Amino acid sequence: MLTILGFAMIATFLVLIMMKKMSPIAALVLIPALFCVFVGKGAKLGDYVIDGVTSLAPTAAMLMFAIVYFGVMIDVGLFDPIVRGILKFCKADPMRIVVGTAVLAAIVSLDGDGSTTFMITVSAMYPLYKRLKMSLVVMTGIAAMANGVMNTLPWGGPTARAATALKLDASDIFVPMIPALLVGLLFVFILSYVLGVRERRRLGVLTLDEVLEEEKETETVLIGSGGLGDGKVSMRKGGTAAAGVTGAADSGTDAPRDAEGSAASADDDGFQGLDPNRSTLRPKLYWFNALLTVALLTAMIMEWLPIPVLFLIGAALVLSVNFPHIPDQKARLAAHADNVLNVSGMVFAAAVFTGVLQGTGMVDHMAKWMVDVIPGSMGPHMALVTGILSLPLTYFMSNDGFYFGVLPVLAEAGAAHGVSPLEMARASLVGQPLHMSSPLVPAVYVLVGMAKVEFGDHTRFVVKWAALTCLVILGAGMLFGII
């Protein structure tokens, strides 16, 4: 009976969030609470929840302060020179533009928020793709895959969910996975080069007359809370040529290849993506912020302190130094409050789901059933099975559904065959490059919407390449003995 109720609870949870009948937070709380009563252990629900919240508090703290830290770093302009440098590198070469898209998306993904990553990447790169008449699905596909690999960072979501679901430390999952993830990111860069060369061959040798468009169009995109505060992004295209370059801010990227001198001088001012005059910029503190970020990431990798403590200290430092006045600090915290509340709320709500699943014994009964079903020869390879299953499962269901509904069951089945929960957790991250293009991921609609790409076109292009990226990560993890 517990086996049936356990699968019924997971199925109910998945159906409701996939059909968008309930929010993930509400479903994580109400569905297990209801099934806890069905099992006849409603009186112990409080104990299950308290135990779960106690164990998950460090994960929630890490996510809260990591979002604040990287959100403030974007606000103060830490990534602005990187954006300008990538645009200067790209010029009018399709291959460089595609590679630059991958690099920019990977760097900005350090903030752990897919929506922010896509807003900054598309705002910077869209005018270049549009002017050069490049394929926009190449831009959306490369950005999604780069963000998918980087989304495995402990503060990105999936790693924290896996740690939450299996009650593990996020750093124990993530740090050993770094070599495999670097291989995956390198593959995305190589793929971006190949696709860029293909675009270069398709477009041929570009000249200024072929690049420029006659009509003028200006779009203004507001970067919402959690990203750039009240900053705006201006994307201009069009204009007529005069003396080899267009006027004002658009000049650099439209210069012909034989006018690199003019292009170089203008690139610093053209297509910056981020509003260069936003009030939150702190140019005099740039090197302090850069060194602080490097020190924090180094401390995280070296495990000098627990990750929640590192980000708590880092967030306090970056707020105090960059915004010494209390009203300014409150404004920055308010700007990122939506992301903080959504993510931390999800973690605490998950305490109910995982607590009921574990406390009532449902997960044990389901694991026993799965052990009986899986052939004995496959048992020792449950990490590989989990890695392969993560591709379709994380694409057709949300991360909440997979990590809180499916992974605990797979982990229990793996444990019966001697596969450690850490190996299972690492294997579960493999599908993230594909997951970021799932129709269940809200950020992907930001990506295709700003890029003016049909979601179906994006899907048809990206699925095969994203799946291949996932398999590369899985293969590297097995080769290095991580999974």
The pLDDT score that the predictor gives to residue 220 is 35
Cβ atoms of residues 80 and 123 within 8 Å:
no
Q: Is 204 left (phi over 0), alpha (psi -120 to 50) or beta?
A: left
The pLDDT, as a whole number, for residue 248 is: 31
Q: What is the pLDDT of residue 367?
A: 64
Q: Please state the pTM of the whole predicted model.
A: 0.64
Q: CA angle at residue 117 from 13 to 234, to 5 degrees?
A: 130
pLDDT of 275:
65
> Which pLDDT score is estimated for 483?
83
pLDDT at residue 324, as a whole number = 95
pLDDT recorded at residue 405: 80
Which pLDDT belongs to residue 371?
59
The alpha carbon of 177 is separated from its chain's Cα centroid by a whole number of angstroms, namely 16
CA 352 to chain centre: 25
CA dihedral sign of residues 196, 201, 447, 213: positive
| pLDDT tens for each residue of the chain, 483 residues long | 788 888 888 888 878 876 778 877 888 899 999 999 988 888 888 888 888 788 778 877 877 888 788 888 878 988 778 767 776 787 778 999 999 999 999 988 887 777 778 877 887 788 788 878 899 999 999 999 999 999 898 877 899 889 988 888 888 999 999 999 999 999 999 999 999 999 999 886 554 445 444 334 433 333 333 333 343 333 333 333 333 333 333 333 333 333 333 333 333 333 344 567 788 899 899 999 999 988 987 887 677 888 889 989 999 999 999 999 999 999 999 988 877 787 677 778 878 887 888 788 887 777 667 656 777 777 788 899 899 988 988 887 778 778 988 888 888 888 888 889 999 999 999 999 999 988 767 778 778 877 888 887 888 899 999 999 999 999 999 999 888
Amino acid code (one letter) for 46? G
Q: Identify the pLDDT of residue 477.
A: 94
- Provide the pLDDT for residue 424: 94
Q: What is the 3-state secondary structure (H, E, C) of the chain?
A: CHHHHHHHHHHHHHHHHHCCCCCHHHHHHHHHHHHHHHHCCHHHHHHHHHHHHHHHHHHHHHHHHHHHHHHHHHHCCCCHHHHHHHHHHHCCCHHHHHHHHHHHHHHHHHHCCHHHHHHHHHHHHHHHHHHCCCCHHHHHHHHHHHHHHHCCCCCCCHHHHHHHHHCCCHHHHHHHHHHHHHHHHHHHHHHHHHHHHHHHHHHCCCCHHHHCCCCCEEEEEECCCCCCCCCEEEEEECCCCECCECCHHHHHHHCCHHHHHHHHHHHCCCCCCCCCCCCCCCHHHHHHHHHHHHHHHHHHHHCCCCHHHHHHHHHHHHHHHHCCCHHHHHHHHHHCHHHHHHHHHHHHHHHHHHHHHHHCCHHHHHHHHHHHHCCCCCHHHHHHHHHHHHHHHHHHCCHHHHHHHHHHHHHHHHHCCCCCHHHHHHHHCCCHHHHCCCCCCHHHHHHHHHHCCCHHHHHHHHHHHHHHHHHHHHHHHHHCCCC
pLDDT at 274: 55
Cα dist from 59 to 53, 81, 113, 418, 439, whole Å: 10, 32, 16, 26, 27
CA distance 195 to 463: 15
Q: What is the pLDDT of residue 370?
A: 64
pLDDT for 255 equals 33
378 contact partners, CB below 8 Å, separation of at least 6: 385
